[in-house]
Homo-oligomer: A and B are copies of this chain.
Amino acid sequence: MIPNIIPGVRRLPEPSRVDRALRALERASLRRTPQRLAIVRAFVDDPSHPTAQMIFDRLRDEMPTMSFATVYNTLASLEQAGACRTLRLDGPAGDGGVRFDPNVDPHDHAVCDRCGAVADVPAPARKEPLPRVEGFRVHAVERILRGACTRCAPG
């Protein structure tokens, strides 16, 4: 079943996303097992940045033997394969879990400090140069936009 999402609406499955993930699995020489396929389908088009728990819950019905460990393993594999990213963005309202983001294109995250909702925000059109930091080689910049969603702070 299709769970709660916050500001975004659940997009209809885009075959391209599922395909992209499956190709990533193949590239990493990982087998296309029923469990992995189910996990991929369960979250690859979900913009709500679900936790492993949420994904696990979604799959209980259609695949009652699904194991928690398999969810974690698969998500870790997908991340290694470049088919998803992991986030930790708990703020004041955060629930402390790792969240999985099937969107691997560069983008920021808007996080509601009150309800913990997360929304993707397209990266700025003009890409800025990586900042220089002494003693560091910067590979990427991750931006979290903290605030309140209109549902929590209307008006």
Residues of A within 8 A of B (CB): 6-7, 88-90, 94, 108, 110, 112-113, 119, 121, 124, 130-131, 133-150, 153
Contacts and interface: CB of A to CB of B under 8 A. Distances in A.
B133 A110 contact: yes
A148 B136 contact: yes
A131 B120 CA distance: 13
Contacts of A153: 137
Nearest to A8: B135
8 contacts: A88-B89, A110-B138, A119-B136, A130-B145, A131-B145, A141-B143, A143-B143, A143-B144
Contact of A113 (B90, B119, B135, B139): B139
B140 A147 contact: yes
A132 B142 CA distance: 17
B145 A144 contact: no
Contact of A147 (B94, B139, B150): B139
A146 to B, nearest CB: 5
Given A88-B89, A88-B90, A89-B88, A138 B145 contact: yes
A136 B131 contact: no
B146 A142 contact: yes
Contacts of A137: 147-150, 153
Contacts of A144: 141-144
A139 B152 CA distance: 13
Contacts of A88: 88-90, 94
